[in-house]
């Protein structure tokens, strides 16, 4: 059986912290890791293969089993609801999901609209609150939506609150805390049990 | 191109042959163990079979009949077989050994890559509540996979009773136990550990619950599980698992099995041992099964039962090789030599060969047409040539 273990890493914001964590746990990562444009990197000494994916897609690769394990934000996991094991809270890239909007505004009674990159999270949150809203899916710069009147509220990731402040928005509610998680494909978790357990243990030690 | 509904697939000739060959091998093996194949309808009532099925409601294809009853396309075969088995005719030969090979339907909400209609081949053993029946399921599943040509696979065996009794003894009531069970069902170990930490329990009990999620591996898992118990509660299920491990050794399939007491394939369906089978390159289980002693009662027959189902699409993917050999021959003829062609074809078919008999005037591109045949004969004009 293939002894290579494939790890899906999120590109961008989370990447550096995740790579640092792996190095701290004693994994030999290639030096070109951080600034490489390659999407697949192999570390033969460790029998590891890294794939660099969009953060939103990490759980998709893992669910389909083309990556055995991956590092994914809890925000993505809540949004995507993929069939993967959530093995470890890596406690990195801490932030939270929140509802925000222009100060002193209410959700319109006539056509209540919420814009978000996380339509499922947004819709289930407002359903729990007993509010009927319509969700508009955006792919980035969510803060724009209330500013130009696309929606009264947005649901987005907040890390420092700086972006909200700079755009004159305020937070109305916190939905949930978010950190990065180590996830595993259900089949890999059993077939490559020993290797995955070893990685989990090494990481758990330093968190 | 005409689109198909989400998750619906065509099976083209080569894949069809590969699947058919695997199906043949599997059903031959199943019959050798004394199981009888049956068929049930694709449509069932939502209120009976739909409700009794282990498949989530949002995955059911529902439709209405002329009288306004809600129907479902069967999402699995276990519930329909339970319905049929509870009928008078079949109840006379207990324990019942039934088998099926049928398409089941599960709606896909999201993207492609997962079929909404797929073939399952499986068995149900009804009216036999013994460990021998559980051992027979797991052994036969291993045999069937070997017969289909799969070499590398792993069967994980769990026992829902152990988890249930451990949780109940520590947490005190079913409500709290089901919260924890849900974390396992959702594969959320982070949430599980956080929830355990937040519970008003002694640190020893918390430690027992945390240690529980590492109960997987070889036969030693059972003895490690035993150490987590404080009194006799839960011991019986472990004795059952030990007995099962013994019987699997007697059958000689121990190399394929491992134990995983954290396995929760469904929130409430299974009642005893349960198992899943994995093959290296396929990202989802290729089959699963277990004991479901409460299902038959829903159809008015209080009988224990166990079974398994294998997903043909995933099995074929796991075996990997598509049957490339096309044994079919071709005879191309022109009308003046039709009689020769017909008698040659008849003779070949009598020998068991497959022969496509084709009037050459209807073929626009002879090279393209004949490319995929094993052998081509021409009965054209006055001569007789072979390619």
CA distance A108 to chain B (A): 30
How does pLDDT run across A29-70, given as a tens digit for each residue?
Answer: 877 776 767 889 888 888 899 999 999 999 999 999 999 999
Report the range of poorest mean pLDDT among A9-13, A63-67, B76-80, B237-241.
Answer: A9-13
Please enumerate in sequence order all residues whose Cβ is within 8 A of that of B9, keeping only pairs 6 or more positions apart, or say none.
B115, B117
CA separation for the pair B136, B251 (Å, rounded): 9
Same domain as B271, residue B209: yes
CA separation for the pair B314, B120 (Å, rounded): 10
Q: The domain containing residue A146 runs over which residues?
A: 95-178
Residue B196: its pLDDT value, please?
A: 96
Residue A1: its pLDDT value, please?
A: 40
Q: Does B132 touch chain A (CB under 8 A)?
A: no
Closest Cβ–Cβ partner in B187, B188, B280 for A191: B280
Instruction: Give the number of other Cβ atoms within 10 Å of residue B224's Cβ.
Output: 16
* Average pLDDT, rounded, for chain A: 91
Residue B311: its pLDDT value, please?
A: 95
Taking CB atoms and an 8 Å limit, are A186 and B188 in contact across chains?
A: no
Residue B361 is assigned to a structural domain of this protein: yes
CA separation for the pair B294, A10 (Å, rounded): 44
Strand partners, B276: B156, B288
Using CA atoms, how far residue B139 sits from A10, A62, B136, B289, in Å, is 42, 30, 5, 12
Chain A positions touching B155 (Cβ under 8 A) are: none
Same domain as B225, residue B76: yes
The band of B254, judged by pLDDT with boundaries at 50, 70 and 90, is very high
Same domain as B275, residue B225: yes
Give the CATH number of the domain where residue A114 resides.
3.40.190.10
Chain A positions touching B217 (Cβ under 8 A) are: 193
Give the CATH number of the domain where residue B194 resides.
3.30.930.10
- What is the tally of structural domains in chain A? 2
Same domain as A106, residue A78: no
Could you give phi then psi for residue A181, rounded to 5 degrees?
-125, 150
Residues 240-299 of B with CB under 8 A from A: 258, 260, 276, 278-285
Q: Maximum Cα–Cα distance for chain A, whole Å?
A: 61
CA B283 to chain centre: 15
Average pLDDT value for residue range A84-106: 94
Residue B231: its pLDDT value, please?
A: 80
Residue B4 is assigned to a structural domain of this protein: no
The band of A152, judged by pLDDT with boundaries at 50, 70 and 90, is very high
- What is the tally of structural domains in chain B? 2
b/e map B102-132, b = 16+ CB within 10 Å: bebbbbbeeeeebbbbbbbbbbbbbbbbebe
Provide the 8-state DSSP code for B294.
T
Nearest to B242 by CA among B266, B225, B263: B225
Residue B1 is assigned to a structural domain of this protein: no
For residues A55 and A72, the answer to whether their CB atoms sit within 8 Å is yes
The band of B322, judged by pLDDT with boundaries at 50, 70 and 90, is low
Q: The domain containing residue B342 runs over which residues?
A: 329-386
Chain B positions touching A186 (Cβ under 8 A) are: 187, 283-285
Q: Is B98 a residue whose pLDDT tops 70?
A: yes
The band of B266, judged by pLDDT with boundaries at 50, 70 and 90, is confident
The band of B112, judged by pLDDT with boundaries at 50, 70 and 90, is low
Taking CB atoms and an 8 Å limit, are B113 and A64 in contact across chains?
A: yes
For residue A63, the chain B residue with the least C-alpha distance is: B283
Same domain as A141, residue A73: no
For residues A91 and A205, the answer to whether their CB atoms sit within 8 Å is no
Same domain as B126, residue B193: yes
* Average pLDDT, rounded, for chain B: 91
Same domain as B198, residue B77: yes
How does pLDDT run across B286-320, given as a tens digit for each residue?
Answer: 999 999 999 999 999 999 999 999 999 999 999 88
Nearest to A202 by CA among A90, A53, A73: A90
Q: Does A190 touch chain B (CB under 8 A)?
A: yes
Residue B78 is assigned to a structural domain of this protein: yes
Q: Is A157 a residue whose pLDDT tops 50?
A: yes
Q: Does B216 touch chain A (CB under 8 A)?
A: yes
Average pLDDT value for residue range B254-275: 91
Domain end position, chosen among B277, B299, B319: B319
Same domain as B25, residue B152: yes
Find which of B274, B283, B320 to mutate to test the A interface (most A CBs within 10 Å of its CB). B283
Average pLDDT value for residue range A16-21: 90
Same domain as A122, residue A195: no
Q: Is B74 a residue whose pLDDT tops 90?
A: yes
Q: Is B387 a residue whose pLDDT tops 50?
A: no
Taking CB atoms and an 8 Å limit, are B285 and A186 in contact across chains?
A: yes
Domain end position, chosen among B291, B319, B347: B319
């Amino acid at each position: 059986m293939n002894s290579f273990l494939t790890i899906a890493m999120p590109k961008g914001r989370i990447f550096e912290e995740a790579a640092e964590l792996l190095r701290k746990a004693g994994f030999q990562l290639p030096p070109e890791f951080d600034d490489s444009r390659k999407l697949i990197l192999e570390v033969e000494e460790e029998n590891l293969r890294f794939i660099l994916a969009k953060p939103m897609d990490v759980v998709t690769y893992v669910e389909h089993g083309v990556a055995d394990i991956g590092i994914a934000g809890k925000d993505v996991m809540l949004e995507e609801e993929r069939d993967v094991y959530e093995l470890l809270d890596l406690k990195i890239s801490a932030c939270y999901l929140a509802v925000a909007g222009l100060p002193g505004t209410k959700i319109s009674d006539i056509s209540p609209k919420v814009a978000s990159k996380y339509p499922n999270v947004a819709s289930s949150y407002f359903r729990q609150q007993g509010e009927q809203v319509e969700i508009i899916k955006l792919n980035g710069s969510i803060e724009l939506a209330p500013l130009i009147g696309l929606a009264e509220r947005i649901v987005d990731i907040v890390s420092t609150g700086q972006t909200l402040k700079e755009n004159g928005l305020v937070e109305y509610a916190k939905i949930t805390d978010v950190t990065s998680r180590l996830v595993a494909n259900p089949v890999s978790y059993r077939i490559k049990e020993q290797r995955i357990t070893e990685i989990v243990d090494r990481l758990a030690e330093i968190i | 191109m005409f689109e198909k509904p989400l998750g619906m697939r065509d099976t083209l000739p080569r894949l069809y042959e590969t699947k058919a060959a695997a199906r043949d091998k599997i059903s031959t093996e199943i019959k050798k163990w004394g199981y009888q194949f049956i068929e049930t309808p694709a449509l069932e009532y939502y209120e009976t079979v739909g409700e009794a099925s282990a498949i989530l409601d949002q995955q059911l294809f529902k439709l209405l009949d002329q009288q306004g009853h809600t129907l479902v396309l069967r999402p699995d075969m276990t519930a329909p077989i339970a319905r049929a088995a509870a009928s008078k005719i079949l109840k006379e030969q207990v324990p019942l050994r039934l088998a099926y090979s049928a398409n089941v339907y599960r709606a896909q909400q999201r993207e492609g890559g997962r079929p909404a209609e797929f073939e399952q081949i499986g068995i149900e053993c009804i009216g036999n509540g013994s460990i021998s029946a559980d051992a027979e399921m797991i052994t036969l599943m291993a045999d069937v996979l070997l017969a289909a040509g799969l070499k590398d696979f792993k069967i994980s065996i769990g026992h829902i009773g152990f988890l249930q009794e451990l949780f109940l003894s520590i947490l005190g009531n079913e409500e709290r136990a089901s919260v924890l069970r849900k974390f396992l069902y959702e594969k959320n170990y982070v949430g599980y550990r956080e929830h355990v930490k937040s519970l008003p329990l002694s640190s020893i009990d918390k430690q027992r619950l945390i240690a529980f999620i590492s109960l997987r591996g070889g036969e030693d898992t059972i003895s490690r599980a035993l150490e987590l118990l404080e009194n006799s509660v839960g011991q019986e299920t472990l004795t059952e698992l030990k007995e099962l491990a013994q019987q699997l050794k007697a059958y000689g399939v121990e190399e394929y099995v491992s134990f995983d007491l954290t396995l929760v394939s469904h929130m409430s369906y299974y009642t005893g041992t349960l198992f899943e089978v994995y093959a290296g390159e396929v990202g989802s289980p290729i089959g699963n099964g277990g004991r479901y002693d409460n299902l038959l009662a829903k159809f008015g027959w209080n009988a224990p039962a166990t079974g398994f189902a294998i997903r043909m699409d995933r099995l074929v993917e796991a075996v990997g090789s598509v049957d490339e050999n096309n044994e079919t021959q071709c005879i191309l003829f022109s009308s003046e030599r039709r009689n020769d062609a017909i008698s040659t074809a008849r003779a070949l078919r009598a020998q068991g060969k497959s022969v496509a008999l084709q009037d050459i005037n209807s073929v626009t591109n002879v090279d393209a047409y004949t490319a995929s045949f094993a052998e081509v004969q021409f009965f054209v004009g006055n001569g007789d040539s072979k390619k």
